[in-house]
Amino acid sequence: MEKNLHKAMNEQIRNELYSAYLYLSMAAYCESKNLPGIAHWLKVQAKEEVSHAMKFFEFMVDVGAEIKLLAIDQPPADFSSVTDIFEKTLEHEKKVTAMINNLVNLAQKAGDHPSMVMLQWFVNEQVEEEKNASQILETLKMIKEQGPAIVMLDRELGKREG
């Protein structure tokens, strides 16, 4: 694997695990606000991010690339509201999309076809991630986190399977 792509893939394992930490931190906030359904949605999201890290890990094992696990930063723990959480979620997912796009560009530049094929899954996944965060954020803006509406959203998000 080309040097810059190899380095970026190792960094992406860390980035995906950081995403899991971030979503767990957000889930903890929601638990403290008695919103177990939204917390559940975020915990499922955290598990999904760990699975993304493992996709990179297993791919690198399969192609014989050395894996170097990097330190994971502590995520923020202070949030002002559920709307704040989903604003940060959308912003974070847009950053992850940029990271994936960078990996695709590095793989293309290196002519690394196996990496390009594997990364296509992540390109598609990021479309879904941004869409989901955006839809929840728009709902939160409509309901203004008030009374029965936030309870209904909490129950709806609590139905997420994972």
The pLDDT tens digits for 41-84 are 999 999 999 999 999 999 999 999 999 999 999 999 999 999 99
Say if residues 82 and 145 touch (Cβ distance below 8 Å).
Answer: yes
Give pLDDT, residue 33: 96
Q: Tokens at residue 19, please? A: 């995403």
CA-nearest of 115, 126, 121, 5 to 59 is 115
User: Which domains are assigned to the chain?
Assistant: 3-157 (1.20.1260.10)
Residue 66's contacts (CB-CB under 8 Å, 6 or more residues apart) are: 6, 60
Give pLDDT, residue 162: 86
Q: How many Cα neighbours within 13 Å face the side chain of 152?
A: 9
Give pLDDT, residue 133: 98
Residue 59's contacts (CB-CB under 8 Å, 6 or more residues apart) are: 9, 114, 115, 118
